[in-house]
């Protein structure tokens, strides 16, 4: 399911227009991004938790020259931990 299909499905289930559904999805995405950027996490009970994790700097291998070592910078990456209800639904 892609974003457009999700918007159409939510509009049908909630009985709202596709535009209203699109605004809800966009608002959710914006809220998650804003919260993760500020160092917080978003928890949806039963579904899961979105968080940001710091990945430390490390030494890697240049794929174009395997004998050459390169330094990979530290970076913040998104993380999702599935909740119990989601895990149980997939069993």
pLDDT recorded at residue 2: 96
pLDDT recorded at residue 81: 97
Where in the chain are the domains? 1-38, 46-91
CB 11 within 8 Å of CB 51: no
Give me the torsion for CA of 18, 44, 51, 79, rounded to 10°: -70
Give me the torsion for CA of 17, 2, 30, 76, rounded to 10°: 170
What pTM, to 2 d.p., does this model score? 0.79
- pLDDT tens-digit readout, 19-72: 999 999 999 999 999 999 999 999 999 999 999 999 999 999 999 999 999 999
pLDDT recorded at residue 65: 92
- Put residue 61 in one of left, alpha, beta given phi > 0 → left and psi -120 to 50 → alpha: beta
d(CA 89, CA 61): 40
Q: What is the CATH number of domain 46-91?
A: 4.10.520.10
d(CA 44, CA 80): 11
pLDDT recorded at residue 18: 95
């Amino acid at each position: 399911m892609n974003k457009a299909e999700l918007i159409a499905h939510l509009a049908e289930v909630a009985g709202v227009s596709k535009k209203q559904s699109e605004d809800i999805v966009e608002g959710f995405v914006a809220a998650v991004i804003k919260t993760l950027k500020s160092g917080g996490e978003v928890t949806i009970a039963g579904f899961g938790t979105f968080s940001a994790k710091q990945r430390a700097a490390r030494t890697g291998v240049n794929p174009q020259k395997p004998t050459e070592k390169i330094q990979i910078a530290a970076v913040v990456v998104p993380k999702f931990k599935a909740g119990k209800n989601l895990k149980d639904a997939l069993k």
